[in-house]
Chains A and B, each alone.
Chain A
């Protein structure tokens, strides 16, 4: 099975993990990322990732087409969703799990759009955002990974996902990168 897209979410302590994973990825995925950010952040996550990633990094506008071999970061103060036709939809709905962007919102919509072609990854963080989304990805036939809480700066987020039974594999940051490369190649 080929996987077309990867969604990843992280909060406190996850920036370095994003770096490690993206630095290793030249693969054929579209990657959509959520990092919890202060509401007035002006694109710093995308600017930062552009320096470590070999793939183009985009902070998308509403209804932007999603392409393979591109990285999309959710803008601060917006939820980022995936539409079935393969484009981004942004929303300013209430915060979910005290967060906007919320990882659950991205993961749930991506599960609906990509089903079995999706890989979802939950990283370090200090709240439970992402757990229900990861469960939705798994229910739709997608593959789910969590950063090993033992090595995570803030273990709560991967732990919450593991606890609800949403996680297929628990891996180190390097392990996540390697596994994504394997999954891209079927």
Chain B
């Protein structure tokens, strides 16, 4: 067995260990990215082979938390891909208006920037009070940060241009208080948000959702796990509900393809329909 095959086996065993010991399932994740993450963890662990990480993770819950943090990639920003928010504003908002009450689910919300961004948009459209918003991730630390809604001021300032490009009707600075180098988001933006832990690889369906945003999460999954998660999102949606994926993700070659029509290809906005 050559070194790279050996490493592959060791990583398989590590993922299997994590699953059977803690219930977190990374076995179906896209491997190239996982390999990178494991090597990074290895080089900061003082161990020399991946195999040595296995007893460590078995016996040391603290090390396991480090591993989960390492595998979760809570990289996000306010109004990332402003054209997507613009498309939501122009194409989804008019339909949300027709419902007296609606539910939105951010699946894989990381540290929450996307949730606050959409909340601003809903406020500006006068729809916020009608919404119930679920914001989920399997990374509890990221969720804590999302709940707090305090971000480095320079990151928020950098989003000013994207806020405008997204069709923002006011000024981004209306929505936060600056204190030293931190920006504290207006708590009114999270009044209708429920933050909770949810794992797309192992947990089940959420009910009767009108708009699901699951952006830049499925890229970390292999094909099979992508399909599992997509079924879960599909079953969570009401008929006529909307799904929004990351701009480099694609429903085209997935199992749920027939259940959706395309509302806006560039924004990866899809509408759930009865399959033909």
Chain A interface residues toward B at CB < 8 A: 60-63, 75, 78, 81-84, 89-94, 105, 108-109, 112-113, 115, 140
What are the nearest 3 A-B pairs in CB distance? A81-B32, A109-B32, A62-B219
* Contact with A63, one of B31, B216, B253 (Cβ below 8 angstroms): B253
Given the complex, which residues of B lie within 8 Å of A109, measured CB to CB?
32, 35-36
Is the CB–CB distance between B35 and A112 below 8 Å?
A: yes
- Asked, given contacts A63-B253, A112-B4, whether A90 binds B32 with beta carbons under 8 Å apart, the answer is no
| A113, closest chain B residue (CB) | B32
Given the complex, which residues of A lie within 8 Å of B250, measured CB to CB?
61-63
B30 at the interface (CB under 8 A from A): yes
Given the complex, which residues of A lie within 8 Å of B218, measured CB to CB?
62
- Asked, given contacts A112-B4, A140-B4, whether A83 binds B248 with beta carbons under 8 Å apart, the answer is no
Which residues 229-258 of B sit at the A interface, judged by CB distance below 8 A? 246, 248-250, 253
- Asked, given contacts A112-B32, A112-B35, whether A92 binds B4 with beta carbons under 8 Å apart, the answer is no
| A87, closest chain B residue (CB) | B223
| B226, closest chain A residue (CB) | A63
Given the complex, which residues of A lie within 8 Å of B195, measured CB to CB?
none
A12 vs chain B, min Cβ distance (A)? 23
Separation of A84 and B216 alpha carbons in the complex (Å): 21
Taking A61-B250, A63-B250 as known contacts, 14 extra A-B pairs with beta carbons closer than 8 A to each other, sorted by chain A number, are: A61-B248, A62-B218, A62-B248, A62-B250, A63-B30, A82-B32, A89-B30, A89-B33, A91-B219, A92-B216, A92-B219, A109-B32, A112-B4, A112-B32
B128 vs chain A, min Cβ distance (A)? 27
Is the CB–CB distance between B35 and A92 below 8 Å?
A: no
Most buried by B among A60, A62, A112, A113: A62
| B220, closest chain A residue (CB) | A91
Q: List 6 A-B contacts (CB under 8 A).
A: A62-B248, A89-B32, A91-B30, A108-B36, A109-B32, A109-B36
Given the complex, which residues of B lie within 8 Å of A82, measured CB to CB?
32
B73 at the interface (CB under 8 A from A): yes
Most buried by A among B36, B75, B218, B248: B248
Given the complex, which residues of B lie within 8 Å of A61, measured CB to CB?
248-250
Separation of A60 and B30 alpha carbons in the complex (Å): 16
Given the complex, which residues of B lie within 8 Å of A113, measured CB to CB?
32
Is the CB–CB distance between B253 and A93 below 8 Å?
A: no
Is the CB–CB distance between A91 and B249 below 8 Å?
A: no
| B73, closest chain A residue (CB) | A93
Separation of A182 and B253 alpha carbons in the complex (Å): 36
* Contact with A62, one of B31, B36, B73, B249 (Cβ below 8 angstroms): B249
Given the complex, which residues of A lie within 8 Å of B35, measured CB to CB?
109, 112
Given the complex, which residues of A lie within 8 Å of B249, measured CB to CB?
61-62
